[in-house]
Amino acid sequence: MRNKTEIKIKPFWYSDIWIFPKLITIITTLDKEGKVNAAPYSHIMQYDVMHKTPRMMVGFRKESHTFQNICDTGEFVINCPSADYLDDMMETARFWPAGVNELEHSRFTPIPSIKVKPPSIDECPQIMECTVDEIKVLHKSSGIVFANIETIRVDEGLDKMDRGERIPAMNLPIGLGDQNRRYYYHCHIGEVTMHELMEPPGGQRGGEIRTTLDWDEEALRALMAVPVGVRKMVTEQAENFAREKGDERVTSARFAELSEEYGMDEEFLDRFRTRSERK
Ligand SMILES: Cc1cc2nc3c(=O)[nH]c(=O)nc-3n(C[C@H](O)[C@H](O)[C@H](O)COP(=O)(O)O)c2cc1C
């Protein structure tokens, strides 16, 4: 066993001894007068992963212009710069006075967004336009914004690449936190490795499926077309869905409704198919 040391949890513990490799984003907003603001934010994560209510959560210092603009206007854009623009990203991080358009102090080019008024950044290969769903102000701490994703845009061509090609093509930097709020550490994506998720020894998870309702033949056939890795989860969801609707059996119509509700089209299901299931 290695010797371990217990660390005291201090304010800003997340950027202290604990290392969080993070996504670097530049959030663009408009103030009440319509002036552009841009600054980097990394306290960001997916919040609702379903396709009908896709949401993000972002954490802000409450006094930041970005947070205040979001509270005032309800809109913002999350732009992910490539590693070639780390210096420009740091320019936008300076504590510029209110009303300064940080993009003008960088090589970033504002372009119109589709669904919201704040601009997007042309040089960012991955962009998300958001509107506020809910704001939670933590006592003596951050302002947390839960936001609806209105649209996602990527540079043309990236959408056709598989992940192995897309990762180096986008070249997103990885944020590694700061020291004393002055020295920010980043790294570039170097060697990318891929690891296949294997089935547990002794059988496939799909083998554990138990139905607790009757299924009509066509619904069962549709269930068997669901990749084995997610079949158990889909079985439970389908039965719960049928029960919620007051049904005593799972019909193919209900199963189709569930698939629609959860966005389980062929393209989606294909992501869960193993190589042998795809053949
Ligand atoms: C890489 C990086 C990530 C950052 N992430 C956050 C963050 O998640 N939350 C935050 O409040 N500030 C974060 N900051 C600090 C803000 O960008 C900085 O305070 C900026 O001046 C705020 O600008 P604004 O007042 O125009 O919003 C980050 C800074 C850098 C360089």
Per-residue pLDDT reduced to its tens digit, 94-149: 999 999 999 999 999 999 999 999 999 999 999 999 999 999 999 989 999 999 99
- In this structure, are 62 and 166 located in the same domain? yes
- Whether residue 184 has its Cβ less than 6 Å from ligand 1: yes
**Alpha-carbon gap, residue 59 to 176, rounded angstroms:** 17
Last residue of a domain, one of 187, 214, 235: 187
Q: Is residue 8 part of a domain?
A: no
- Alpha carbon of 110 to ligand 1 centroid (Å): 19
Query: Is the CB of residue 47 less than 8 Å from the CB of residue 55?
Result: yes
- In this structure, are 211 and 258 located in the same domain? yes
Question: In the 8-state DSSP scheme, what is residue 107?
Answer: S
- Whether residue 59 has its Cβ less than 6 Å from ligand 1: yes
**Alpha-carbon gap, residue 8 to 182, rounded angstroms:** 22
- In this structure, are 176 and 268 located in the same domain? no
Per-residue pLDDT reduced to its tens digit, 6-36: 999 998 888 888 999 999 999 999 999 999 9
- Whether residue 37 has its Cβ less than 6 Å from ligand 1: yes
- In this structure, are 167 and 137 located in the same domain? yes
What is the sign of the dihedral through the CA atoms of 34, 37, 43 and 44?
A: positive
Long-range contacts, 38-42 (Cβ 8 Å, 24+): 38/92, 38/101, 38/102, 38/103, 38/106, 38/108, 38/121, 39/64, 39/65, 39/66, 39/92, 39/93, 39/102, 40/89, 40/90, 40/92, 40/93, 41/66, 41/78, 42/175
Is the confidence at residue 210, as pLDDT, over 90?
Answer: no
pLDDT score at 175? 97
pTM, rounded to two decimals: 0.87
Task: Find the CATH number of the domain harbouring 127.
Answer: 2.30.110.10
Torsion over CA of 213, 216, 220 and 223, rounded to 10 degrees? -70
- Alpha carbon of 40 to ligand 1 centroid (Å): 5
Q: Is residue 59 part of a domain?
A: yes
Q: What letter represents residue 238's amino acid?
A: A
- In this structure, are 135 and 221 located in the same domain? no
- Whether residue 43 has its Cβ less than 6 Å from ligand 1: yes
- Provide the residue range defining the domain that includes 133: 13-187
**Ligand 1 atom at minimal distance to the Cα of residue 175:** 1
Q: What letter represents residue 47's amino acid?
A: Y
**From 27, 35, 41, 105, mutation site for ligand 1 pocket: most ligand atoms within 8 A of C-beta:** 41
Per-residue pLDDT reduced to its tens digit, 31-83: 999 999 999 999 999 999 999 999 999 999 999 999 999 999 999 999 999 99
For residue 129, the SS3 value is strand
